[in-house]
Chain A
Amino acid sequence: MHDKTLTELAASLAAGEFSSRELTESLLARIDRLDGEFNSFITVTAEQALSAADAADAARARGEAGPLNGVPLALKDIFCTTGVKTSAGSRMLDNFVAPYDATVVEKLKAAGTVSLGKTNMDEFAMGSSNENSFYGPVKNPWDGGAVPGGSSGGSAAAVAAGLVPAAMGTDTGGSIRQPAAFCGITGLKPTYGRVSRYGIIAYASSLDQAGPMARTAADCAQLLGAIAGHDLRDSTSVARGVPDYTEELAAPLSGLKIGLPKEYFGEGLDPQVESAVGEAIRVYESLGATVREVSLPHTHYAIPAYYVIAPAEASSNLSRYDGVRFGHRCEAPTDLADLYTRSRAEGFGEEVKRRILMGTHTLSEGFFDAYYKKAQQVRRLIRQDFLDAFDEVDVLMGPASPTPAFDLGANKDPVSMYLQDIYTIAINLAGIPGISVPAGIVDGRPVGLQILGTHFAEARLLNVAHQFQQATDWHLRRPALAEESL
């Protein structure tokens, strides 16, 4: 059962080939058997999963099953879940059980899906390798010496290892697309405001967005339909109808205009990744698309602008962790200042502290204009680059990451780690949607093709990704897990 896509599993459940309980039991046993190696889950919620599966089976028996009824999945441990720990990968929230569900969680429950648990992540979603988790790093199922990417590394690894057919992630600078690329799965970051952020632990509020990670674009289309939509509890969610994202999947691509940003094929790009992406572009040409070069002239300012804006927002968002209302509290504080400073020093990890200090510094008196205001001006120029490009072409394509998954421990220096996100970060600054689809394997490690569209073009992106997956089989390749060859 673990080899099937979410779409196939939904069809099998509907046809009565097996029950949601049987499927859930089988995947829970698989997690139990294999996840000791990958560390992709922080919390497995077997009991809740089985009762949700039973409820889904009962709903089906009553004739009340929607398309996702009884389908198992996992949630990045950044989505608040009633009665189940939500840690955000941090010691600070190791004792935190949220008193409410995130809107995404509420919607997935209403659709009849079955959550198997909460997946590992970089602490507070700050990282590109999942090495910044309080719960230890995640291993890439394709190669135990490689990172799974981050920050949604646990979600990506769990899907790649066949522990779940799909998982929810969040993406602030590439945290869905880069781990999807590194683990050989499909991951979609929707337009800013498309999916409610209510109940998602905040990192950088003007950039954060939740989205689906699964085997195929068709799977992501089903899931996006379930989680998207306006929410009164998130003032930045957009009041705009949610289309049926599966409807356009089959549309032919003849006449599709693809732009290749020349800045995404320059220095620093691994030649083997470049050649895999080139092959993918040729597939699109064979499907009737036309290709031309475009320019996003401010690309190289995206990482500097992001590392002002994101830490600034983070330093403000993370000021709520004070050891008073929830989260970690130090032992025997001598006074209020000691309570704050020691609780925060003990609760936060190194990268989180680095970004809090960075954000606090750039927002402080005397530095605000030079850093924060400047970065917001540059943000407008970066967004305009994309809007100009989409006047000329329908979608943009390029690599999701300059290299395949790097080795665990390879990027000790924070700046060299930050530079890995060169192809994903500008997309969050512009607020546009992007998807990564499997497009090759280099030395045993997957390569992701990133496809970008203008604001609210998710249906088009999913269509373009789906047509590629009808013509290729990269998304069906599975890592050879040592345990299974015994």
Chain B
Amino acid sequence: MALEHADVLRAAHLARLGLNDDEAALYLDDLSRILAMVDQLQGLETEGVAPLAHPLETTQRLRADEVTEEDRREQFQRCAPAVEQGLYLVPRVVE
């Protein structure tokens, strides 16, 4: 499946990754070659093979619905670039 310039820009938008046109052109070249390598998979018959998501095929463990963690907001916010009164600051979203 050939990749196009617009596909790279679409992926960059979905990933919220700033990319100018020149950079997109470079990644188009790289990603096209990676996808050509990946396309070898299409030559393998996998009809009826169940996808494997976890190498040990275990399911997610459940636990009792109990509060086990204490509130450590202050500590966690110490590594944030901008906080005020316990809130994370971002540019204005609603005018």
Binding site for B on A (CB under 8 A): 95-99, 191-193, 206, 232, 235-236, 238-239, 298, 300-301, 303-305, 307-308, 315, 319, 322-327, 329, 333-342, 344-346, 348, 353-354, 356-358, 360-362, 364, 367, 370-371, 373-381, 383, 413-415, 418, 428-432, 455
Bound form: Cα–Cα A97–B7 in Å: 36
Q: Would you call A360 and B14 a contact (CB within 8 A)? A: yes
Q: Would you call A380 and B37 a contact (CB within 8 A)? A: no
Q: Is the interface of B mostly helix, strand, loop or mixed?
A: loop
Closest to B83 in A: A325
Which of B18, B27, B52, B82 counts the most A-chain CB atoms under 10 A from its CB?
A: B52
Q: Contact partner of A342 among B7, B10, B18, B50, CB < 8 A?
A: B18
Which of A192, A304, A429 counts the most B-chain CB atoms under 10 A from its CB?
A: A304
- Judge if B25 is at the interface, Cβ distance under 8 Å: no
Q: Would you call A334 and B37 a contact (CB within 8 A)? A: no
23 A–B contacts from the bound complex (CB under 8 Å): A236-B54, A238-B56, A301-B41, A304-B37, A304-B38, A305-B41, A319-B15, A322-B16, A326-B80, A326-B81, A338-B91, A346-B18, A357-B8, A357-B27, A358-B31, A364-B11, A373-B51, A378-B49, A379-B52, A413-B33, A418-B34, A418-B37, A431-B54
Q: Would you call B56 and A336 a contact (CB within 8 A)? A: no
Q: A333-B91, A334-B91, A356-B15 are in contact. Are A378 and B46 (CB under 8 A)?
A: yes
Q: Would you call B38 and A193 a contact (CB within 8 A)? A: no
Closest to A427 in B: B55
Q: Would you call A354 and B51 a contact (CB within 8 A)? A: no
B-chain residues with CB within 8 Å of residue A340 when the two chains form the complex: 16
Bound form: Cα–Cα A308–B52 in Å: 13
Q: Would you call B88 and A383 a contact (CB within 8 A)? A: no
Q: Would you call A377 and B1 a contact (CB within 8 A)? A: no
Bound form: Cα–Cα A364–B54 in Å: 21
Q: Contact partner of B16 among A236, A344, A375, CB < 8 A?
A: A344
Which of B10, B12, B81, B92 counts the most A-chain CB atoms under 10 A from its CB?
A: B81
Q: A322-B16, A344-B18, A374-B42 are in contact. Are A361 and B3 (CB under 8 A)?
A: yes
Q: Would you call A341 and B16 a contact (CB within 8 A)? A: yes
A-chain residues with CB within 8 Å of residue B1 when the two chains form the complex: 367, 370
- Judge if B17 is at the interface, Cβ distance under 8 Å: yes
Q: Would you call A377 and B51 a contact (CB within 8 A)? A: yes
Q: Would you call B61 and A324 a contact (CB within 8 A)? A: no
Bound form: Cα–Cα A373–B44 in Å: 13
Q: Would you call B79 and A301 a contact (CB within 8 A)? A: no
Binding site for A on B (CB under 8 A): 1, 3, 7-8, 10-12, 14-19, 27, 30-31, 33-35, 37-42, 44, 46, 49-56, 58, 60-61, 63, 72, 75-76, 78-82, 88, 90-93
Q: Would you call B80 and A354 a contact (CB within 8 A)? A: no
Q: Would you call B11 and A304 a contact (CB within 8 A)? A: no
Closest to B15 in A: A360
Closest to B20 in A: A345
Q: Would you call A364 and B53 a contact (CB within 8 A)? A: no
Contacts A340-B16, A375-B41 aside, 4 further interface pairs with beta carbons under 8 A come to A298-B44, A305-B41, A334-B91, A364-B11
Give, as a whole number of angstroms, the nearest-CB distance from B34 to chain A: 6
Give, as a whole number of angstroms, the nearest-CB distance from B32 to chain A: 10
B-chain residues with CB within 8 Å of residue A193 when the two chains form the complex: 55-56, 58
A-chain residues with CB within 8 Å of residue B37 when the two chains form the complex: 303-304, 307, 415, 418
Q: Would you call B12 and A357 a contact (CB within 8 A)? A: yes
Give, as a whole number of angstroms, the nearest-CB distance from B72 to chain A: 7
Give, as a whole number of angstroms, the nearest-CB distance from B78 to chain A: 7
Bound form: Cα–Cα A480–B44 in Å: 48
Q: Would you call B51 and A376 a contact (CB within 8 A)? A: yes
Q: Would you call B72 and A429 a contact (CB within 8 A)? A: no
A-chain residues with CB within 8 Å of residue B10 when the two chains form the complex: 361, 364
Closest A-B pairs by Cβ, 9 of them: A431-B55, A345-B18, A376-B51, A341-B18, A380-B52, A329-B81, A377-B46, A340-B16, A360-B11
Bound form: Cα–Cα A281–B49 in Å: 35
Q: Would you call A414 and B49 a contact (CB within 8 A)? A: no
Q: Would you call B38 and A308 a contact (CB within 8 A)? A: yes
Q: Would you call B56 and A348 a contact (CB within 8 A)? A: no
Q: Would you call B49 and A380 a contact (CB within 8 A)? A: yes
Q: Contact partner of A98 among B41, B79, B81, CB < 8 A?
A: B79
